[in-house]
A and B are shown apart, each in its own frame.
Chain A
Amino acid sequence: MAGSGLGGKYALIGMAESDVGIVPDKSPRELCVQVTLDAIRDAGLTLADVDGLITCNAFAEPIMYHAEAVAEYIGWQPRHCVTVNTGGGTTFMALNMAAAAIEAGMADTIVVAMADSLRSFMTREQAMVVQSSSGHPHYEQPYGPTVPAYYALIARAHMDEFGTTGEQFAEAAVSCRAWASQHPKAQMRDPISVEDVMNSRAIADPLKVLDCSLVSDGGAAVVITRQDRAKDGPHKPVTLLGYGEGHAYEHISQAKNLTTSAALQSGRAAYAEAGLAPADINLLQLYDCFTPALLIQIEDLGFCDKGEGGDWLASGISRPGGSKPLNTHGGMLSYCHPGNPGAMFGLTEAMTQMRGDAGKRQIEGISTALCHAQGGIMSSHATVILGVD
């Protein structure tokens, strides 16, 4: 399984987040502009030092040429400027495309910036309909499936095949909330129990409202450059050690296997390129759009055997004090989930931890992190492994 061939050559030198949660005073484009400039400043650079921009379109404010519009807004004419849209997986695919663009000589230093405002710039029904529009327009959507329903189909299949329980899915939400309670910016900070999840409102059986990620506003950006240029910045550079992708299908009704995802392929490629194994990973930042998605990624990325994700989560290993800290900002279940930018906050949290700036929730002795995101309904997967000296 070959990786991207870019491992070890590129580093993240800047990052920024906007306010997250409910942010009604700025549009998605304005948030994207803000985090772009803040991330450049965080890297100790000015706009003149940066020559590439990669963004993702926003559901709440779609723009035909999104990256160009963001650059135009601040009077910037970058050498490389492109919009990537691979749904929830965009964060890490865009990061790899940035590294590849630098490798190809298209730019030297690139900002990857994403923002959306599903909470304040859309009605609840609009947000639901736009997200469920990932379903096949002829062979899925007419039946009225919701996004939680798609993941409920996956959850039910996992329960049937491996005996996983609703309580075990709930453990994922409990773990993320335990971390979020230690993060001053998290949208949801009150600790919850498995009982709280199980007693929360039924959405699509077996999933309850607390099994589902938040609906939020927010944006984040990172700056990437060649490893040899990364040394002079104000922060410890975070190196991209390995990257992998896996693409299985688009629509859930076309999945050959409901309980094993293409995270298996993306993870294997990333581990191979980094020369690391799951046991070597100090921090996991996974894609928790719904609790069963998180559980299946834990299995497919090799942190436990297939079918044992429920036991793994219930053991408490992922919570504060556990040996495999997971989504230490609280994830999309508790920190924030503005749609496609959701995984950006897993990346900025990994960088924060690797810089040693995570305050109360700081993990000691961290040298590696694995970040994962997926687009569609467990459809397209991207894994990145990060390292810090």
Chain B
Amino acid sequence: MAKPLPRPTPTEQPFYDACARGELILQHCQHCGHVLFYPRTHCDACQSEQLVWQRASGAGVIASYTVVRRGVSADFEAPYVIALVDLVEGPRMMSQIVDVDFDALAVGLSVTVDFASWSEDITLPVFRLHPALDDDAS
């Protein structure tokens, strides 16, 4: 069974194009100011279609995480870390946290985005711990 890969719609394509050039972009609603993830045709706060892409900082904090010990299929080599990341711009996204000492993981830690090639056509955002951001905040 092959690894599941996104097949971007025209609406979503700018997000994946940005990932491929190493940028995380998010839709901003021109009507209510809401910042969206995942990409949509309509704002999920006010249903407006006036959505404009803007580059995100790439910074966030871990809302939750798990170390997957048994992968979903042979295409995913366990262990790996699945996390929910709250971006500083507001939205929450699922991702992997890569190159991490599992014992160092905790809810609330700062992370920053990186990009990983998932296939010939698809690059996805992943995250790394960013202790310097936590030091600044304390």
Contacts and interface: CB of A to CB of B under 8 A. Distances in A.
Partners in one complex: yes
Interface of A: 125, 128-129, 132, 136-146, 148-149, 152-157, 160, 201-207, 252-255, 258
A132 B75 CA distance: 14
Given A143-B124, A144-B82, A149-B82, A160 B64 contact: yes
A275 to B, nearest CB: 36
Interface stretch (B4-12, B21-29, B47-55, B130-138): B4-12
Contacts of A128: 72-73
B72 A145 contact: yes
B68 A144 contact: yes
Contacts of B69: 201-205
Given A125-B1, A156-B64, A157-B63, A145 B70 contact: no
B107 interface: yes
Contacts of B4: 137, 141-142
Given A145-B94, A258-B63, A138 B38 contact: yes
B18 to A, nearest CB: 14
B64 A204 contact: no
A365 B9 CA distance: 58
Contacts of A205: 66-67, 69, 102
Contacts, number: 109
B84 interface: yes
Nearest to A259: B64
Contacts of B93: 139, 253
Interface of B (DSSP majority class): loop
A143 B107 contact: no
A142 B118 contact: yes
Nearest to A160: B107
Interface residues of B, number: 40
Contact of A145 (B12, B68, B122, B124): B68
Contact of A149 (B12, B66, B106): B66
A139, A143, A145, A254: residue with the most chain B Cβ atoms closer than 10 Å: A143
Contacts of B106: 160
Contacts of A149: 66, 68, 82
A137 B8 CA distance: 10
B72 A154 contact: no
B94 A253 contact: yes
Nearest to A253: B94
Nearest to B3: A142
B115 interface: no
Contacts of B96: 143-144
Nearest to A152: B66
Given A125-B73, A129-B72, A140 B94 contact: yes
A137 B68 contact: no
Contact of B67 (A125, A139, A204, A255): A204
Contacts of A146: 68, 70-72
A155 to B, nearest CB: 8
Given A144-B72, A202-B69, A153 B82 contact: yes
B80 A142 contact: no
A138 B5 CA distance: 7
A140 B72 CA distance: 12
7 contacts: A128-B72, A128-B73, A139-B6, A144-B73, A146-B72, A153-B64, A153-B66
B71 A156 contact: no
Contacts of A258: 63-64, 84
Contacts of B102: 205
A201 B106 CA distance: 22
Sort A-B residue pairs by CB-CB distance and give the 3 closest, nearest first.
Answer: A152-B66, A144-B76, A138-B6
Contacts of A140: 94
Interface in B72-96: 72-76, 80, 82-84, 92-96
Contacts of A157: 63-64, 107
B98 to A, nearest CB: 11
A375 B20 CA distance: 35
B127 to A, nearest CB: 11
Contacts of B33: none
Given A137-B6, A144-B76, A252-B84, 4 more contacts: A142-B4, A146-B71, A154-B64, A253-B84
B108 A160 contact: yes
Given A138-B12, A143-B95, A129 B124 contact: no
